Amino acid sequence: MSMTTRAYARFAARLSTLAEDRGDVPGWVLVSVMTAGLVTAIWLIADDQLTSVLNRAISSVSAP
């Protein structure tokens, strides 16, 4: 077997291994959806408090 044939065989083997590795897409989708849900729930519950904290932070930075 020549050098280029062996290199091609190794490349083809690595490529087939990478094609089988699809990752954990459903897991990442679930994490993203749950994070968005938690942010929405926290925002709905603590909207007034978060607004006042943000306003105080902005006014303290912009005050001379």
Residue 55 within a domain: yes
Q: What pLDDT shows up at residue 11? A: 79
Residue 5 within a domain: no
Domain enclosing residue 52, as ranges: 23-64
Residue 35 within a domain: yes
d(CA 29, CA 27): 5
Residue 51 within a domain: yes
Q: What pLDDT shows up at residue 31? A: 92
Kindly report the average pLDDT of the chain as a whole number. 83
Residue 14 within a domain: no
Number of domains the chain contains: 1
Q: Token match 């938690």: residue?
A: 38
Q: What pLDDT shows up at residue 12? A: 78
d(CA 21, CA 11): 16
What does the pLDDT look like over 15-46, one tens digit per residue?
A: 666 555 566 778 889 999 999 999 999 999 99
Q: What pLDDT shows up at residue 37? A: 96
